[in-house]
Amino acid sequence: MDENPESCIFCQIVAGRAGAHIVQEDQHSLAILDIQPLAQGHCLVIPKRHVPWWHDLSEEETDSLFRVARKTAGMIMKAFSPDFVCMYARGRRVPHTHIFLVPTTKGDPLDRYFNALEGFQEAALPLMALRDGVVMKETEKKLRETK
């Protein structure tokens, strides 16, 4: 993962060396349309300073990032009327802090993904029980009996 601000696409956008569809900005943050949208209105909110991890932002930058995200989410709600605006952060491909804002409706790919993830979280304890030694022996026995 290249963490060099000179090669960072978001830093290039902030500096005006790369194009972007800017939705709004303030002193510390910028909201842009994602070039690989999951839905119409999908935006990214980025700090203007190159900071790979959000927990390394200054307090001012953090406040700005979430203020711009909240305002942008409101704009998305008014413009596209989704069920809600999903907000998440990942940042593995571009090592510059960014928040995803995705208009989401029931049953769309993002909604299905998070429902599956939540289902997995809820199922974690039953899955852990499958690792128990007694359960493993019972499973082994059942499988061997099917020979």
60, amino acid identity: E
Question: What distance in Å separates the CA atoms of residue 76 and residue 62, rounded to the nearest whole number?
Answer: 21
The pTM of the full predicted model, rounded to 2 decimals, is 0.78
With residue 94 as reference, give the H or E element that holds it: none
Residue 12, C-beta contacts closer than 8 angstroms, at least 6 positions apart: 18
86: which strand partners? 102
pLDDT beyond 90 at 122: no
Question: What distance in Å separates the CA atoms of residue 133 and residue 130, rounded to the nearest whole number?
Answer: 8
Window from 56-65, 85-94, 112-121 with minimum mean pLDDT: 112-121
Question: What distance in Å separates the CA atoms of residue 51 and residue 98, rounded to the nearest whole number?
Answer: 9
Give me the DSSP letters along 16-50: TSS---EEEE-SSEEEEE-SS-SSTT-EEEEESS-
With residue 25 as reference, give the H or E element that holds it: strand 22-25
Q: Per-residue pLDDT tens for 41-71?
A: 999 999 999 999 889 999 999 999 999 999 9
Domain ranges of the chain: 1-104, 106-147
**Architecture of the CATH domain 1-104:** 2-Layer Sandwich (3.30)
